[in-house]
Amino acid sequence: MKRRTFLIGATGMAFGASLGGTLPAFAEDAKPEKTDLAIGVGGKPLLYYLPLTVAEQKGFFKEEGLNVTINDFAGGSKSLQALVGGSVDVVTGAYEHTIRMQNKGQDIIAVCDLGRFPGIVIAVRKSLAGEIKTIADLKGRKVGVTAPGSSTALLLQYALQKNGLTSADVAQIGIGGGASAVAAIKNGGIDGLSHLDPVISQLQHDDDIAILLDTRTEEGTKALFGGTNPAATVYLKQSFAKDNPVTTQRVVNAMMKALKWIGAAKPEDVADLVPKEYLLGNRELYMQAFQNSRQMYSPDGMVTKDGYESMMNALKALDPELANANVPYEKTFEPAFVKAAKI
């Protein structure tokens, strides 16, 4: 038996057990059950989702025999809705959505971690830096997020709570990603924002913002959460993975290749690869943004139990519906496909 066949067979058995059934072993050359896939994402140009763009631009999906269409939504909550509604097969989105949906009885599970730190920054317009010096000073202010219900909104709400406020104490305004988010700060439409690179680095470069909290680094993430905090993941319905184990494995293979490429890439390699519009008109700045955020990418595709506990604690503190939730780690992340990944 080939090592590859054995690995997938063993992990497939474990995965099948978690679903109450058994998945058949499949060989290295097994054909994907479904080759045409729709993947949802909320803000594809953001560095939070760089592994998806790398997998697309480097041809890793095609190498795995997949014809992928990427649907870019206004925020992560929209891509989740698309998955639940059946208009996409797979989502690259925030890990916290798996916990929320499992608590509601929805069979959604992550199969690959892309980010171990959120990579989200809370900042205010530079002109307001004298008035808004801490998170607590955001009370009564208008704060932009990618979309209501997204990971940027969740992190903002958690930071507010840890500083004695509630989500109702600020007006959360969906500003999308990319140029629209930059414009929202520059035209004074919002007082601050909870957002990601390259938007944050663009605003930093232009001296338009003052940073209050930075989770692009381990230090900033631990300051808020006390540990690592899983961010972007690949998630899907368990039923899809059960019916399409080879397809699911091929998706994970492609994303693991992307993570490996990112781990070795130079900033200029990334700038050369992504679509020109992602650079926001400033290649050097984009390279700096990547360098600022590169710590956040997962080195191994695994959601750790510590990371799960960090996320669960945040959700329990934020959401009354989850205050007494009992959603086991095993229902939120299936490691079998990462363990069997061919990269």
Tell whether domain 121-214 is in CATH 1.10.1790.20. no
Average pLDDT, whole number, for the chain? Answer: 91
| CA angle (322, 328, 242) in 5-degree steps | 115
Cα 49 → chain centroid: 6
d(CA 116, CA 130): 33
Q: pTM for the whole thing? A: 0.84
**What does CATH list as the number for 3-117+229-339?**
3.40.190.10
Are residues 127 and 192 in contact, defined by beta-carbon separation less than 8 angstroms? Answer: no
Q: Pick the closest to residue 39 from 25, 21, 22, 56 (CA basis).
A: 56
Q: Which two structure tokens, joined as six digits, stand for 339?
A: 């363990």
Q: What digits encode the pLDDT tens for the residues 132-169?
A: 999 999 999 999 999 888 889 989 999 999 999 999 99
CB atoms within 10 A of CB 9: 16
**Residue 170 or 43, more confident:** 170
Q: Which DSSP letter does residue 230 get?
A: -
Residues linked to residue 29 through DSSP beta bridges, in sequence order: none
Q: What digits encode the pLDDT tens for the residues 263-273?
A: 999 999 999 99
**Residue 161 or 17, more confident:** 161
Q: What digits encode the pLDDT tens for the residues 195-243?
A: 999 999 999 999 999 999 999 988 999 999 988 899 999 999 999 999 9
Q: Is the pLDDT of residue 11 over 70?
A: no
All structural domains of the chain with their residue ranges? 3-117+229-339, 121-214
